[in-house]
């Protein structure tokens, strides 16, 4: 419905009339000469003529004239623009089922609108550019068609493609279509057991994880450049090998395939030696002997402690195998620490021995009762003649 008002200031009883775009009189004062019941009088007074127009159509568009019969006559104009919303947007896809990496095309059409609608494209939360085409129909309305071309990936599976129509007569006008994308399998080998290094005598359990669209129907285990061990057990996507030994070393491959293609993942097995017991380190014993002569010092002898060698293991790690700390490394570190402590004890022992000792001297006996020094020497036990045999030693 449209409301058309004609207002006059300081009217001197002049006649007011309303004309349509074809200059036909709709209302003359409060009378309606035009036989169109869609026009109805809303208000009439000396200062206003107000008319309503219901069920507006495209033919009602144009300039309406409010005319005042004065000398000379006065006129005022008002334009009516009719907006025609488009019909429901129609979205179409060239391919119902898509394959990963292929290019597809979609179209969206907004028909019979005025003015021409604007079409935007969204794939998920990302806007994509389309190529619009506008056509003017015989009834002066517009049909807009937008074409969207893009390449699909496996991540697009289940993602909606939305056609959004922007028009001043409507809001939130859109249509959408969900993508169905087929893709080749994705494969990953998971080590179920053991969690650490693979060693001789242990068991190995590998599980092949995969997904694809359509779901892979064939899953195969093989050993690259060799045969899978005869006693290996393959159950569906799982591979189980008991009592490992180094002859089983090599690359094991899980292959999954569907109608789109096939894919694989590799696991390189390297079997380590069985774990061995690391020998315990022995404690070095230090013996101190005090030799008494004229002068004696403590003598320190040291026995050499046996070194603790780590168990020998191959340092290689099979690809995909979890890495753990080798006990041989720990044993080597402990041996170095013990050896350093023993060396420190030897150095400290020699240091204290140099600064502390027992001194023994053979002083002349019988000199206590002598009257003077000469008499003391003469009376000394052994006499002066044996003085050369009395020597002091520093040990």
Q: Are 132 and 119 in contact (CB under 8 A)?
A: yes
Q: Residue 295: is its pLDDT beyond 80?
A: no
Nearest to 49, CA basis, from 79, 1, 8: 8
Distance between CA 326 and CA 314 in Å, rounded?
10
175 and 93 fall within a common domain: yes
Q: Is the pLDDT of residue 230 over 50?
A: yes
pLDDT of residue 79: 94
Q: Kindly indicate the confidence band of residue 321, based on its pLDDT and cuts at 50, 70 and 90.
A: very low
Task: Tell me, yes or no, whether 395 lies in a domain.
Answer: no
Residue 194 lies in a domain: yes
pLDDT grade for 320, boundaries at 50, 70 and 90:
very low
Work out the average pLDDT over 313-337. Answer: 64
Residue 71: inside a domain, yes or no?
Answer: yes
Token pair recorded at residue 111: 């028909």
Average pLDDT over residues 324-333: 78
Higher pLDDT, 365 or 160: 160
Lowest mean pLDDT among 89-103, 132-146, 298-312, 362-376: 298-312
Q: How far is CA 213 from CA 100, 261, 329, in A?
A: 10, 10, 48
Q: How far is 136 from 139, CA to CA, in rounded Å?
A: 8
Among 177, 184, 178, CA closest to 102: 184
Residue 103: its pLDDT value, please? 95
Does 66 map to a domain? yes
CA 193 centroid distance within chain: 27
Note whether 93 and 175 are same-domain residues.
yes
Q: What is the mean pLDDT of residues 8-15?
A: 83
Cβ(189)–Cβ(208) below 8 Å = yes
Q: Which residue has the tokens 């279509």?
A: 177
Q: Is the pLDDT of residue 291 over 90?
A: no
Q: What's the mean pLDDT in 200-223?
A: 93
* Tokens read off for 120: 């935007």
Q: In this predicted structure, what is the pLDDT of residue 289?
A: 32
Q: Is the domain of 59 the same as that of 121?
A: no
Residue 51 forms part of a structural domain: yes
pLDDT band at residue 239 under the 50/70/90 scheme: very high
> How many structural domains compose the chain?
3
pLDDT computed for residue 46 by the predictor = 84
Which of these three, 179, 204, 239, is where a domain ends? 179
Region 4-30: mean pLDDT is: 90
Q: What is the pLDDT of residues 115-150, one digit of tens each?
A: 999 999 999 999 999 999 999 988 889 999 999 999
| Residue 142 and residue 222 share a domain | no
- Structure confidence at residue 163 (pLDDT): 97
> 172 and 94 in one domain?
yes
- Average pLDDT on 351-355 reads 77
For residue 189, the surrounding DSSP H or E stretch is: strand 181-193
Q: Are residues 230 and 208 in the same domain?
A: yes
Percent of the chain with pLDDT over 90: 63
- Tallying the residues shown for the chain, one arrives at 395
pLDDT of 121 reads 97
Average pLDDT, the chain: 82
Element (H or E) spanning 40, and its range? Answer: strand 39-44
> At which of 119, 153, 179 does a domain end?
179
Q: 14, 65, 64, 2: which is closest to 39 by C-alpha?
A: 2
Same domain, 56 and 75: yes
The verdict on residue 7 lying in a domain is yes
Q: In this model, does residue 389 exceed pLDDT 60?
A: no
The answer to whether residue 61 is domain-embedded is: yes
* CA-wise closest residue to 179 among 240, 234, 98, 233: 98
State the residue range of the domain holding 47.
Answer: 2-80
Taking phi over 0 as left and psi of -120 to 50 as alpha, with beta for the rest, 13 belongs to: left
What's the confidence (pLDDT) of residue 178? Answer: 95
Q: What is the mean pLDDT of residues 183-194?
A: 94
Whole-prediction pTM? 0.59
* pLDDT tens readout for residues 243-278: 999 999 999 999 999 999 999 999 999 999 988 765
**Which pLDDT score is estimated for 190?**
95
β-strand pairing of 98-99 with 181-193: parallel
Answer yes or no: do 219 and 162 share one domain.
Answer: no
Q: Give domain status of residue 313, yes or no.
A: no
Residue 131 sits in the same domain as residue 188: no
Q: Do 153 and 105 fall within a single domain?
A: yes
Q: What is the mean pLDDT of residues 221-248?
A: 93
Same domain, 96 and 131: yes
What pLDDT does residue 387 have?
46
Q: What is the DSSP letter of 312?
A: P
CATH number for the domain harbouring residue 136: 2.60.40.10
Residues 65 and 132 grouped into a single domain: no
Instruction: Mark which of 269, 298, 317 sits at the end of a domain.
Output: 269
Measured from the Cβ of residue 57, the count of other Cβ atoms closer than 10 Å reads 10
SS3 192: strand
Q: What is the pLDDT of residue 326?
A: 67
At residue 358, the pLDDT reads: 53
Quickly list DSSP for 57-117.
Answer: -GGG-EEEEEEE--SS-EEEEEEE---B-----EEEES-SSEETT-EEEEEEEEEEEBS--
DSSP 385: G
Average pLDDT over residues 326-345: 90
Q: Which of 202, 94, 67, 109 is nearest to 149 (CA)?
A: 94
């Amino acid at each position: 419905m449209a409301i058309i008002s004609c207002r006059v200031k300081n009217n001197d009883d002049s006649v007011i009339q309303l004309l349509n775009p074809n200059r036909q009189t709709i209302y003359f004062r409060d009378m309606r000469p035009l036989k169109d019941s869609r026009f109805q009088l809303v208000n009439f007074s000396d200062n206003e003529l107000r008319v309503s127009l219901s069920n507006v159509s495209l033919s009602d568009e144009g300039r309406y004239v409010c005319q005042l019969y004065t000398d000379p006559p006065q006129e005022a104009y008002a334009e009516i623009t009719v907006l025609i919303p488009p019909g429901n947007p129609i979205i179409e896809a060239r391919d119902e089922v898509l394959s990963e990496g292929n290019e597809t095309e979609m179209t969206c059409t907004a028909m019979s609108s005025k003015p021409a609608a604007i079409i935007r494209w969204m794939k998920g939360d990302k806007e994509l550019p389309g190529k619009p085409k506008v056509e003017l129909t015989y009834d002066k309305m517009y049909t807009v068609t937008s074409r969207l071309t893009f390449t699909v990936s496996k991540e697009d599976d289940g993602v909606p493609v939305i056609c959004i129509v922007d028009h001043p007569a409507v809001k939130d006008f859109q249509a959408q279509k969900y993508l169905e994308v087929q893709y080749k399998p994705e494969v990953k080998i998971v080590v179920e057991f053991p969690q650490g290094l693979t060693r001789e005598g242990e068991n190995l359990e590998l599980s092949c994880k995969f997904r694809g669209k359509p779901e892979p129907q064939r899953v195969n285990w093989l050993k690259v450049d060799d045969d899978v061990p005869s006693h290996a057990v393959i159950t569906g996507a799982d591979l189980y090998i008991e009592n490992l030994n180094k002859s089983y070393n090599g690359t094991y491959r899980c292959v999954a395939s569907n109608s789109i293609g096939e894919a694989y993942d590799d696991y390189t097995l390297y079997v380590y030696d069985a774990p061995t017991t690391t020998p315990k380190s022995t404690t070095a014993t230090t013996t101190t002997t005090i030799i008494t002569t004229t002068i004696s010092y403590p003598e320190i002898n040291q026995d050499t402690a046996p070194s603790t060698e780590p168990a020998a293991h191959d340092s290689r790690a099979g690809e995909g195998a979890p890495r753990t700390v080798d006990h041989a490394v720990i044993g080597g570190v402990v041996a170095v620490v013990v050896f350093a402590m023993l060396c420190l004890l030897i150095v400290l022992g020699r240091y204290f021995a140099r600064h502390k000792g027992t001194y023994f001297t053979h002083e002349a006996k019988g000199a206590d009762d002598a009257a003077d020094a000469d008499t003391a020497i003469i009376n000394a036990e052994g006499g002066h003649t044996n003085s050369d045999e009395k020597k002091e030693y520093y040990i």
